[in-house]
């Protein structure tokens, strides 16, 4: 009997990756999943998946360590690169206390102006901060290094192992934040987020995703590696893993309510099971190339609350929502043309709520108000 096709999934225990591993196993693939700590109980769900005993192999690997990736990728025809931190808390804030940031506010301003090739008008010229050093030290360990250096390591390992196709998980964070895009035109794959704009907003997660995706596509072109990228928006749906990931905390906040004000902006969103399907579709379709947006639903905050309330009236829900102008949203026609068929938003929301209820995630905890993850406070 022919041996099953073999693929590797980086960050295999994460929210989206767990669904991808489950899907791959169900389709007869042998899966190498990389984990930073295979013995951590937060990854134990992987061993319970159907066909895991015979076809799932766990590898201890950190994307920052090239040598640990080599055995995981060896012998694989394809690789899905998903491992990236999705931080819940603020990454760097020059105005914050020294415990959350060691960067002086003036140093930060100076760096931002210098990157634009200009002199900062707010800080005296004679004051020179060693900003690059401090900034790299502060943010690097959190999101930029794993996304940039980690992606480069994965690219190089894939080249060395002669992998046929690498599917890289990007994000609409690499598409959507472009203030120069015309307001009335849907954003497609030709739209890139403006890196300087994101830097100026302290949105380091988006900077990391833009840089990682650009690096992956450029590396693929230059080195003859077949690289495609997927750009999902907010991902919801049932959790397979025992921990709660950052995007699920967004929906939990909307349901439970809390002190953070939200704008009534349009939120693009997608089901985690449809993201797994999209990743596999990109891998299996020979003609897939370049980047793909996978954002089938857009709903503003007030309509999201109304829809959820209709299905589950017993929760308190957020009630501090500010009206704002709506922005043009995204089209995922390119992915639809490849045969992707996402489910309806109602199904995603209802399955998410059911999962949160069963896991006891919607109970109030006295003295611990629910908070909106900082990542989405930036965008709201
Ligand atoms: N969820 C969303 O709404 C959304 C939207 C768009 C794009 N994405 C992208 O989808 C991917 C998965 O996100 P998710 O929502 O599933 O988040 P998640 O559950 O937090 O998973 C992230 C995974 O990355 C791993 N990781 C982080 N740093 C690593 C490192 N240095 N070496 C190896 N593994 C590392 C984590 O492993 P540990 O458990 O060891 O920390 C974890 O398994 C990310 O690339 C994210 O940017 C997510």
Instruction: Show which residues are catalytic.
Output: 209
Token pair for residue 81?
């690169």
Mean pLDDT, the chain, whole residue set? 88
Distance from residue 169's CA to the centre of ligand 1 (Å)? 9
Res. 99: pLDDT tops 70: no
Angle, nearest 10°, between helix axes 145-160 and 204-223? 20
Q: Is the CB of 277 under 6 A from ligand 1?
A: no
178 in Cβ contact with 66 (< 8 Å): no
Distance from residue 57's CA to the centre of ligand 1 (Å)? 19
Q: Is the CB of 237 under 6 A from ligand 1?
A: no
Distance from residue 147's CA to the centre of ligand 1 (Å)? 10
Report the C-alpha gap between 370 and 306 in whole angstroms. 20
pLDDT value for 294: 97
Q: Is the CB of 373 under 6 A from ligand 1?
A: no
- Look up the pTM and report it: 0.89
pLDDT value for 366: 75
Is the model more confident about 326 or about 242?
242
Q: Which amino acid residue places its CA nearest to atom 35 of ligand 1?
A: 83
Q: Which amino acid residue places its CA nearest to atom 33 of ligand 1?
A: 62
Q: Is the CB of 18 under 6 A from ligand 1?
A: no
Is the model more confident about 101 or about 370?
370
Res. 348: pLDDT tops 70: yes
Is the model more confident about 323 or about 276?
276
Atom of ligand 1 nearest to the CA of 13: 43
239 in Cβ contact with 175 (< 8 Å): no
Q: Is the CB of 205 under 6 A from ligand 1?
A: no
Which whole number is the average pLDDT over 217-224? 98
Distance from residue 245's CA to the centre of ligand 1 (Å)? 9
Lowest mean per-residue pLDDT among 48-52, 303-307, 361-365: 361-365
Report the C-alpha gap between 239 and 268 in whole angstroms. 19
Q: Which amino acid residue places its CA nearest to atom 2 of ligand 1?
A: 235
Report the C-alpha gap between 64 and 170 in whole angstroms. 18
Q: Is the CB of 52 under 6 A from ligand 1?
A: no
Q: Which amino acid residue places its CA nearest to atom 13 of ligand 1?
A: 16
Query: Residue 40: helix, strand or coil by DSSP?
Result: coil
Residue 83's nearest CA partner among 140, 154, 165, 160 is 154
Report the C-alpha gap between 369 and 322 in whole angstroms. 20
Is the model more confident about 22 or about 367?
22
Which whole number is the average pLDDT over 47-73? 98
Res. 364: pLDDT tops 50: yes
Is the model more confident about 44 or about 369?
44
Distance from residue 185's CA to the centre of ligand 1 (Å)? 31
Q: What is the pLDDT of residues 231-281, one digit of tens each?
A: 999 999 999 999 999 999 999 999 999 999 999 999 999 999 999 999 999
Res. 187: pLDDT tops 90: yes
Res. 48: pLDDT tops 80: yes
Q: Is the CB of 147 under 6 A from ligand 1?
A: no
């Amino acid at each position: 009997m022919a041996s099953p096709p073999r693929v590797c999934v980086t960050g295999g225990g994460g929210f989206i990756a767990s669904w991808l591993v489950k899907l791959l196993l169900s389709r007869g693939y042998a899966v190498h999943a990389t984990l930073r700590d295979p013995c951590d109980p937060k990854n134990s769900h992987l061993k319970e998946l159907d066909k895991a005993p015979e076809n799932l192999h766990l590898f201890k690997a950190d994307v920052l360590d090239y040598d640990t990736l080599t055995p995981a990728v060896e012998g694989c025809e394809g690789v899905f690169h998903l491992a990236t931190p999705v931080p819940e808390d603020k990454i760097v804030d020059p105005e914050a206390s020294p415990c959350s940031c060691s960067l002086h506010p003036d140093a930060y301003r100076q760096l931002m102006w210098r990157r634009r090739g200009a002199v900062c008008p707010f800080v005296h010229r004679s004051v020179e901060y060693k900003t690059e050093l401090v900034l790299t030290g502060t943010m690097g360990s959190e999101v930029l290094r794993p996304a940039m250096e980690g992606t480069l390591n994965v690219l190089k390992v894939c080249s060395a192992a002669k992998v046929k196709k690498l599917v890289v998980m990007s994000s609409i964070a690499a598409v959507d934040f472009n203030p120069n895009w015309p307001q009335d035109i849907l954003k497609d794959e030709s739209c890139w987020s403006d890196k300087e704009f994101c830097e100026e907003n302290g949105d380091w997660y988006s900077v990391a995703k833009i840089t990682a995706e650009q690096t992956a596509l450029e590396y693929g072109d230059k080195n003859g590696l077949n690289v495609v990228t997927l750009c999902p928006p907010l991902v919801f749906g049932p959790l397979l893993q025992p921990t709660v990931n950052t995007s699920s905390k967004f929906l939990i906040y909307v349901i439970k309510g809390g002190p953070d004000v939200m704008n009534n902006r349009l939120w693009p969103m997608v089901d985690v099971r449809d993201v797994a399907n999209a990743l596999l579709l990109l891998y299996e379709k020979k003609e897939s190339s370049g980047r793909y947006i996978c954002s089938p639903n857009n709903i503003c905050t007030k309509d999201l609350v109304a829809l959820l309330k209709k299905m589950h009236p017993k929760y308190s829900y957020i009630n501090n929502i500010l009206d704002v102008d709506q922005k043009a949203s995204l089209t995922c026609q390119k992915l639809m043309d490849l045969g992707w068929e996402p489910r309806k938003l109602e199904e995603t929301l209802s399955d998410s709520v059911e999962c949160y209820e069963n896991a006891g995630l919607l109970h109030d905890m006295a003295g611990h108000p629910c908070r909106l993850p900082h990542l989405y406070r930036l965008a709201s």
